[in-house]
């Protein structure tokens, strides 16, 4: 009786859970795992928008998204769940998903993974990211031109090489147009800690910084805090962030993933997916947001000119460079390329903060 009951439950479950009749043949289900919320005006929003675009443009592509997945053992369970839902292309969009994603990818060789991070590639495991560091150089130019106090602020989540690279390029850009410019860094210790981000922004403004940039998942808290106190901000992650600061917005960087993701989706549909490492910068995966109303035309022109230079391959991390403790970190002519950015562990001269 009891087992009969549970069998009938399972039968009922299977009937009800069966997929609906095929009206629109699904060619590909894309699974996405987000560490935050997709409406964060930032990192997660950039992926959500790009993938929504892919699903809209390619017929038969369906999106299955899971938000707020912690970078713990939970991630593996969620990705396994996505595979069970029939996903054949999975985007683990946060760095901390790496171990989990690799484990699931090893178990399911028929599912393609596009991991937003770095490390080894495999046949069904590709890695990619937007190189924002060089693109931060023109952002620094804009900040260096707009500041009145010559003190710039930068809020970063964690002191990883990529974040340090962003800060350094920003300071180098600012210094290139304003010899007095200095950048004060505050580390919050997490990619999305709103309370600490607000505190950090306030602390920077209290110290006299009048332009604040950030490298955290959502630029929202920092931009709104700065806007409320009449400061200026340089956005990051999503170009949409400009709506948060109608007065103080200067410009910002955002990710433009859609073209690359469209390519990936097509390659999975046609069975040609091969895991690769793809890192693209300004003009491809990274774009500059529209300027705010307060930015004079000559500054806009200058920033655009510098940006064009970066797009053509200008590398701000070219020696000689000294760090902010006086050590020569890059001898004349030496460069730090995008592939070594993760290992950067120093702040360039002019940055106020401790890298180690």
Partner 1 sequence: MPEGGLTAVLRRSTALRTTVRHCGIGVGALLMFAAILLAAGKDPLKAYVDTFHYTLANSYGFSELLVRMTPLLLAAVAVALPARLGLINVGGEGQLYMGAFMASAGAFLLPTAPRLILLPFVAFMGFMGGAIWAAIPGILRAAKLVNETISTLLLNYVAPLIVSYFVFGLWRASENSAYPQSSPFPDAALLPSFFNTRIHAGLLIAVVALLAYWLLLEKTRWGVDMRAIGGNAEAAQRLGIPVPAWIVTALAVGGGFAGLAGMGEAMGIAGRLRQGLSPGYGFAGFLIAWLAGGRPLGIVFMAFLFAIITSAGDTLQMTQGVPYAVVNILLAMILFIVLARRSAGGTSK
Site residues (CB under 8 A) for partner 1? 9-10, 12-14, 16-17, 31, 64-74, 76-78, 80-82, 84-85, 95-96, 98-99, 117-119, 158-162, 189-190, 342-343, 345
Nearer to partner 1, 64 or 302 (CB): 64
Nearer to partner 1, 311 or 323 (CB): 323
Nearer to partner 1, 63 or 228 (CB): 63
Vertex 354: Cα angle to 353 and 355 (nearest 5)? 120
Whether 263 and 54 have beta carbons less than 8 Å apart is answered as no
Distance separating alpha carbons of residues 17 and 88, to the nearest angstrom: 20
Nearer to partner 1, 166 or 251 (CB): 166
Tell me how crowded residue 151 is: count the other CB atoms within 10 A of its CB.
19
Smallest distance from partner 1 to CB 172, Å: 21
Distance separating alpha carbons of residues 219 and 236, to the nearest angstrom: 6
Q: How far apart are the first and last CA of the chain?
A: 67
Nearer to partner 1, 5 or 17 (CB): 17
Smallest distance from partner 1 to CB 33, Å: 10
Q: Which residues contact 275 (CB under 8 A, 6 or more apart)?
A: 112, 113, 121, 122, 123, 124, 125, 126, 127
Smallest distance from partner 1 to CB 305, Å: 31
Tell me how crowded residue 179 is: count the other CB atoms within 10 A of its CB.
10
Smallest distance from partner 1 to CB 164, Å: 10
Smallest distance from partner 1 to CB 190, Å: 8
Q: Pairing state of beta strands 249-255 and 286-288?
A: antiparallel
Nearer to partner 1, 14 or 293 (CB): 14
Smallest distance from partner 1 to CB 231, Å: 29
List helix spans (H) across the chain.
2-17, 43-57, 74-84, 98-107, 133-146, 161-177, 194-206, 220-228, 258-269, 297-311
């Amino acid at each position: 009786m009891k087992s009969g009951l549970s069998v009938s439950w399972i039968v009922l479950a299977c009937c009800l859970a069966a997929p609906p009749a095929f009206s629109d043949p699904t060619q590909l289900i894309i699974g996405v795992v987000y560490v935050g919320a997709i409406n964060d005006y930032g990192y997660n929003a950039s992926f959500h928008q790009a993938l929504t675009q892919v699903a809209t443009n390619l017929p038969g592509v369906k999106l299955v998204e899971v938000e707020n997945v912690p970078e713990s053992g939970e991630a593996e369970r969620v990705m396994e769940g996505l595979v069970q839902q029939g996903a054949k292309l999975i985007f683990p969009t946060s760095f901390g998903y790496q171990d989990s994603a690799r484990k699931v990818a090893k178990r399911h060789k028929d599912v393609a993974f596009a991991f937003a991070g770095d490390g080894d590639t495999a046949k069904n495991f590709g890695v990619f990211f937007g190189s924002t560091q060089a693109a931060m150089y023109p952002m620094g130019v804009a900040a260096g031109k707009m500041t009145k106090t010559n003190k710039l602020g930068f809020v970063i989540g964690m002191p990883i090489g990529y974040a340090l690279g962003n800060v350094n390029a920003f300071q180098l850009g600012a210094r290139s147009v304003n010899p007095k410019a200095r950048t004060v860094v505050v580390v919050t210790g997490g990619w999305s800690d709103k309370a600490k981000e607000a505190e950090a922004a306030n602390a920077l403004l209290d110290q006299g910084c009048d332009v604040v940039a950030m490298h955290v998942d959502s630029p929202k808290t920092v931009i709104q805090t700065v806007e409320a106190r009449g400061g200026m901000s340089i956005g990051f992650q999503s170009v949409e962030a400009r709506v948060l600061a109608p007065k103080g917005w200067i410009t910002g960087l955002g990710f433009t993933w859609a073209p690359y993701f469209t390519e990936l989706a097509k390659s999975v549909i046609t069975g040609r997916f091969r895991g690769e490492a793809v890192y693209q910068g300004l003009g491809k995966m990274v774009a500059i947001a529209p300027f705010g109303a307060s930015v004079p035309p000559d500054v806009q022109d200058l920033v655009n000119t510098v940006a064009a230079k970066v797009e053509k391959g200008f590398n701000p991390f070219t020696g000689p460079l000294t760090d902010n403790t006086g050590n020569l970190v890059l001898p004349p002519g030496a460069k730090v390329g995008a592939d070594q950015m993760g290992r950067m562990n120093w702040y360039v001269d002019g940055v106020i903060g401790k890298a180690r």
